[in-house]
Amino acid sequence: MIDNFLQYGQWVILVLSILSLYLVSSVEHETRLNGYVLTGISRFAGATVFIFVDLYAFVIANLIQTYIAFKGYSNNKKLGNSK
């Protein structure tokens, strides 16, 4: 079960990460916001994978990236509402 999660989950996370980078680089405000949310989700999913393979430094790094992504979403959401 865990082996299947690690084997196939890593590729799903990679695709989500690439898609989130594409969305964050958009010039449209709503698309960029969606990119921040998807970045947070994919980084959190990456952290769960690293827990299973005992790479705790990468877990911490992914959790920090998750926090930054959702903080970026929050900051950009406020900025978009003020315009």
Q: What pLDDT, on a 0 to 100 scale, did the predictor assign at position 83? A: 62
Q: Which domain holds residue 6?
A: 2-82
Q: How many domains does the chain have?
A: 1
Q: What pLDDT, on a 0 to 100 scale, did the predictor assign at position 5? A: 78
The more confidently predicted of residues 7 and 58 is: 58
Enumerate the H helices of the chain as residue ranges.
2-24, 29-52, 56-82
Cα-only R_g, the chain: 14
User: Tens digits of per-residue pLDDT, 35-45?
Assistant: 999 999 999 99
Backbone angles phi, psi at 55, to 5 degrees: -110, 75
